[in-house]
Amino acid sequence: MFDIEKIVRPNILKLKPYSSARHEFEGRSGIFLDANENPYGIHNRYPDPTQIEVRKLISKQKSITVENICLGNGSDEIIDLAVRIFCEPQKDKVIICPPTYGMYEVVAAINDVEVIHIPLLNGFQPDVSKIFATEAKMLFLCSPNNPTGNCLNGIEQIIQNFKGIVFVDEAYIDFCKEKSLIQLIHTYPNLIISQTFSKAYGLAGIRIGAAFANTKIIDLFYKIKPPYNINELSQNQLIKSLSDYKLFEENLENILIQKARLIAALKVVETVKCIYPSDANFILLEVTDADDLYQFLLTHNVIIRNRNSVIPNCIRITIGNGDETTQLINAIKLYH
């Protein structure tokens, strides 16, 4: 049986969390002389540390109760909180499956937690038997994966058999046909799903990401997160954006249209050796000379991501709007 208390760092289990003024008194009326705030101004009050209004809206949209949601200052904060809850510095280990999102490794390093690399295999799929043969506190999976763009197969089987916490990063889930694994949090006590409003929701500037997990894990996130980690302006903007679902869908559809258009155009470009299948808002390409193409596109004011150091001669291109896609296509046609 999976016992969360045996997995959590002992100091976090013991921790008596900071209780903010806004947390101890949750009522709305009265004069507030409890938080050393300034009585003057428009942003003079601390924001809701539980972000309850935002979480209620997310709860409706994702069909997940608010008790299963914790918000972070970007999903990058979610990654950091997760590592700090479960991994003891200089003792515990985490598994990452490169090529993947770089922050898992950096967050582990910042927290002095050892990283075991188990590279993705053919088709950029996880090496399941190696993962099961490895002892680690935590496993990071990213699906759809950045920078390869594909969804990972067999994640549920991995969650079911892995002894530690499985962290599934679904930053790009809204771009793909495959369903989110979010409802599996009710089945697996060792699962954390993270999503973000930075990509499909177009809100990278407001820095909000979310962790979805069973309440025992979410309570631990609340125990250690900075009380006012989501500022008032961001909370208000997300509330606004979440109530315009039509705009969200429209933008998403446009991005997918441009993606199809770009892929069709790239198929006949000579320098493009391979267009990897993508479930995200970016595509990974193998080209004849990634460094050279990268420099060439720069001179045409098109900035792409050179991934040559990670996957030989590969570049990652984010899908832009119609004009941006046209500019990119025109520029790459000039390359030879």
Ligand X SMILES: *Cc1c(COP(=O)(O)O)cnc(C)c1O
Burial class (CB in 10 A: 0-12, 13-18, 19+), 223: middle
Cα(268)–Cα(54) distance, integer angstroms = 46
Nearer to ligand X, 198 or 234 (CB): 198
Label residue 236 left, alpha or beta by phi (over 0 means left) and psi (-120 to 50 means alpha): alpha
Burial class (CB in 10 A: 0-12, 13-18, 19+), 91: exposed
Label residue 51 left, alpha or beta by phi (over 0 means left) and psi (-120 to 50 means alpha): left
Nearer to ligand X, 47 or 209 (CB): 209
**Residue 98: CB minimum distance to ligand X, A:** 13
**Residue 31: CB minimum distance to ligand X, A:** 37
**Residue 63: CB minimum distance to ligand X, A:** 21
**Residue 281: CB minimum distance to ligand X, A:** 10
**Residue 282: CB minimum distance to ligand X, A:** 9
**Residue 40: CB minimum distance to ligand X, A:** 33
Cα(172)–Cα(193) distance, integer angstroms = 12
**Residue 199: CB minimum distance to ligand X, A:** 6
DSSP letter for each residue of 130-162: HHHTS--SEEEEESS-TTT-PPPS-HHHHHHH-
Cα(270)–Cα(287) distance, integer angstroms = 9
Nearer to ligand X, 9 or 199 (CB): 199
Nearer to ligand X, 61 or 161 (CB): 61
Nearer to ligand X, 20 or 237 (CB): 237
Q: Which residues of 187-220 are buried (b: 16+ CB within 10 A; e: fewer)?
A: ebbbbbbbbbbbbbbebeebbbbbbbbbeebbeb
Nearer to ligand X, 21 or 203 (CB): 203
Q: Residue 280 gets which letter from DSSP?
A: S
Nearer to ligand X, 228 or 296 (CB): 228
Q: How many residues does the chain have?
A: 336
Q: Which residues bind ligand X (CB under 6 A)?
A: 74-76, 101, 142, 146, 169, 171, 196, 198, 204, 209
Of 192, 185, 232, 210, residue with least CA distance to 61? 210
